[in-house]
Amino acid sequence: MKKDGIALYYIVKEKLLDMIDEGKYTPGEQFPTESDLCEKFGVSRTTIRQALSQLKLEGHIYQIQGKGTFVSLPKIEQSVAPYRSFNEHLKGRGQQIDTEVVDLTVVSADKRLTKKLEIAENDPVFRLERIRYADGLPLLFSITYIPWKVTPGLTKEECSGSLYALMREKFSIQLSHCVESIEPILIDEAISKHLSAPIGAPSLLLNTVTYSTGNIPVEYSHEIFRGDRAKFTFERKL
Amino acid sequence: MKKDGIALYYIVKEKLLDMIDEGKYTPGEQFPTESDLCEKFGVSRTTIRQALSQLKLEGHIYQIQGKGTFVSLPKIEQSVAPYRSFNEHLKGRGQQIDTEVVDLTVVSADKRLTKKLEIAENDPVFRLERIRYADGLPLLFSITYIPWKVTPGLTKEECSGSLYALMREKFSIQLSHCVESIEPILIDEAISKHLSAPIGAPSLLLNTVTYSTGNIPVEYSHEIFRGDRAKFTFERKL
């Protein structure tokens, strides 16, 4: 169905976008249902679905199964350009970053950790859980593993700032590089509590192994970013 | 609950991982329920949940709300290193890549497209839908927008290969760079059909704007990667 050569769903989508831009629907707010929108615009459910699908694709709204559709918050861009840590990046944007240390324990290295950290099975490893807040709202939940021998006697108090800075300054470790991967996961029950995000919402899992000079792994971490608050950007030469 | 100083959930997790590695549970197969695993290992539901949560975090299994837990396929790694296209990357790994052109139409530029492609409102724009298969299985669904003036008269047949190669060779366009962003989204009904993936499964949305020399946008695309088949990797200097 078209009007002056423009697909109807485009017109609906543009109107909805304008309403979001104008603040008629605000970030985090529940979006009208398909039926409500059908009635409001006097168009078919297929047209509304196409419009919503485009808005979702472009990240303006997000859906949680069984709960409905919500308006996205403006996302925090995380550049994967080299030479810049996430902390530095956010501070550079003038954002207030707070860290909450949830837990610090010592665990035995399992197979996964022995492989990632290149240590022996059952070697002692720090397991650190933290929550990062940007401007007071939870942005990411992280689990970090550090071999005992890398930061012997590490305390909870020391973990409230940058771990990289701590490794460099207190433990005289020369950091070389990190290898990272990004995957999509769903917020589960445990993470839901930490991030104040609904179970089943899409999120990004960033896995990192950090190496010191000499190619020795000093840290293995999982960071779960709220999908409605973060995106990663990068540039490629062609 | 610990055994010889090792948390019980670690032991359960390691056993489950071994079973996956040994092929007892195969990729795409439904994983046992929490109750089944409680009985099998004789441990509490909390312990099983911790073990499953770790396996999920590490990408070995994935959950679909209301459907259960499944074993992940080995993921295809997509490096975000510069100078290499996804096609080249996959071919370099010896993978068979096939492209299905779903649809090619001409649409009017809406506000979003005028902004991204730096063209006038209502300018004609090609809208191309494609599915990429790696080794015969759907890997990604893409929607690509190209201004008419960039590739005038583009045909469906021409879109079955690399668009970059086509732009360079047939339309003599000198490509310069692209700006990309990655966000997590959930598979919706329409995409579910294209990717043979369940509704609600986590996936990665890669948005790209490609520029020719002179900083002129020549393409704007959305690519949705099946989350159980793809991850993005990169390396940073520290």
Q: What is the DSSP string of chain A?
A: -EETTEEHHHHHHHHHHHHHHTTSS-TTPBPPPHHHHHHHHT--HHHHHHHHHHHHHTTSEEEETTTEEEEPPPPEEEE--TT--HHHHHHHTT--EEEEEEEEEEEE--HHHHHHHT--TT-EEEEEEEEEEETTEEEEEEEEEEETTTSTT--GGGGGS-HHHHHHHTT---EEEEEEEEEEEE--HHHHHHHT--TT-EEEEEEEEEEETTTEEEEEEEEEEETTTEEEEEEEE-
Instruction: Kindly state the helix (H) or strand (E) to which residue B135 belongs, with its residue range.
Output: none
Mutate to test the interface with B, among A11, A64, A75, A186 (most CBs of B within 10 A): A186
Question: Is the pLDDT at A37 greater than 90, yes or no?
Answer: yes
Return the SS3 of B180.
strand
- Least CB–CB distance from B177: residue in A59, A180, A235: A235
Query: Has residue A38 been placed in a domain?
Result: yes
**Under an 8 A CB cutoff, do A184 and B227 touch?**
yes
Distance CA B92, CA A203 (A): 30
Q: In this structure, are strands B137-147 and B175-186 parallel, antiparallel, or unpaired?
A: unpaired
**Under an 8 A CB cutoff, do B65 and A200 touch?**
yes
**Under an 8 A CB cutoff, do B202 and A186 touch?**
yes
- Least CB–CB distance from B200: residue in A65, A111, A183: A65
Q: Are B181 and B207 in contact (CB under 8 A)?
A: yes
The residue among B38, B71, B104 that closes a domain is B71
**Under an 8 A CB cutoff, do A182 and B181 touch?**
no
Residue with tokens 């709204």: A61
Query: Has residue B144 been placed in a domain?
Result: yes
**Under an 8 A CB cutoff, do A238 and B111 touch?**
no
Full domain range(s) for residue A21: 2-71
Query: How many CB atoms are closer than 10 A to CB A51?
Result: 25
pLDDT band at A123 (very low <50, low <70, confident <90, very high): very high
- Least CB–CB distance from B233: residue in A180, A199, A222: A180
Query: Has residue A58 been placed in a domain?
Result: yes
pLDDT (tens place) for every residue of chain B, 238 residues total: 444 456 788 889 888 988 887 788 888 889 999 999 999 999 999 999 989 988 887 778 887 777 888 888 766 666 665 445 566 666 666 778 899 999 999 999 988 899 999 999 999 999 999 999 988 889 899 999 999 999 999 999 999 988 999 999 999 999 999 988 888 888 887 888 899 888 788 889 999 999 999 999 999 999 999 887 787 877 778 8
A35 & A153 share domain: no
B7 & B102 share domain: no
B67 & B92 share domain: no
- Least CB–CB distance from B53: residue in A85, A188, A205: A188
Query: Has residue A173 been placed in a domain?
Result: yes
Q: What is the DSSP letter of B158?
A: G
Q: Are A81 and A89 in contact (CB under 8 A)?
A: no
Tell me whether 0.90 is exceeded by the ipTM.
Answer: no
Query: Has residue B238 been placed in a domain?
Result: no
**Under an 8 A CB cutoff, do A10 and B108 touch?**
yes
A126 & A205 share domain: yes
- Least CB–CB distance from B6: residue in A108, A205, A235: A108
**Under an 8 A CB cutoff, do A202 and B188 touch?**
no
Based on the structure, what is the number of domains in chain A? 2
Mutate to test the interface with A, among B141, B142, B182 (most CBs of A within 10 A): B182
The reply to whether the predicted model has a pTM over 0.80 is: no
- Least CB–CB distance from B5: residue in A66, A75, A108: A108
**Average pLDDT of chain A?**
86
CATH of the domain at B20: 1.10.10.10
**B203-231: burial string, b at 16+ Cβ within 10 Å, e else:** bbbbbbbbbbeeeebbbbbbbbbbbbbbb
Q: How far is CA B185 from CA A68, A194, A235, B217, in A?
A: 14, 20, 21, 25
**Under an 8 A CB cutoff, do A185 and B56 touch?**
yes
Distance CA B33, CA B175 (A): 51
Which residue in chain A is spatially nearest to B109 when comparing CA positions? Answer: A6
- Least CB–CB distance from B83: residue in A49, A62, A237: A237
A179 & A220 share domain: yes
Mutate to test the interface with A, among B60, B84, B234 (most CBs of A within 10 A): B234
Per-residue pLDDT, B217: 97
A115 & A154 share domain: yes
Query: Has residue A238 been placed in a domain?
Result: no
CA distance A149 to chain B (A): 18
**Under an 8 A CB cutoff, do A222 and B58 touch?**
yes
CB neighbour list of residue A158: distance below 8 Å, 6 or more residues apart: A166, A170
The residue among B49, B71, B93 that closes a domain is B71
A82 & A55 share domain: no
**Under an 8 A CB cutoff, do B205 and A59 touch?**
yes
Per-residue pLDDT, A4: 47
Per-residue pLDDT, B90: 66
- Least CB–CB distance from A238: residue in B176, B183, B188: B176
CB pairs under 8 A between A and B: 195
Instruction: Kindly state the helix (H) or strand (E) to which residue B47 belongs, with its residue range.
Output: helix B45-57
B104 & B182 share domain: yes
CA distance B157 to chain A (A): 24
Give the full edge-to-edge strand order of the sheet including A137-147: A97-108, A124-134, A137-147, A216-226, A202-212, A175-186, B230-237, B76-79
Which residue in chain A is spatially nearest to B116 when comparing CA positions? Answer: A58
Per-residue pLDDT, A194: 92
Residues of A in contact with B56 (CB under 8 A): 185, 188
B16 & B124 share domain: no
Residues of A in contact with B234 (CB under 8 A): 80, 179-181, 234
The residue among B71, B104, B132 that closes a domain is B71
B54 & B112 share domain: no
A124 & A40 share domain: no
Residues of B in contact with A56 (CB under 8 A): 185, 188
B38 & B80 share domain: no
Q: What is the DSSP letter of B85?
A: -
CATH of the domain at B137: 3.40.1410.10
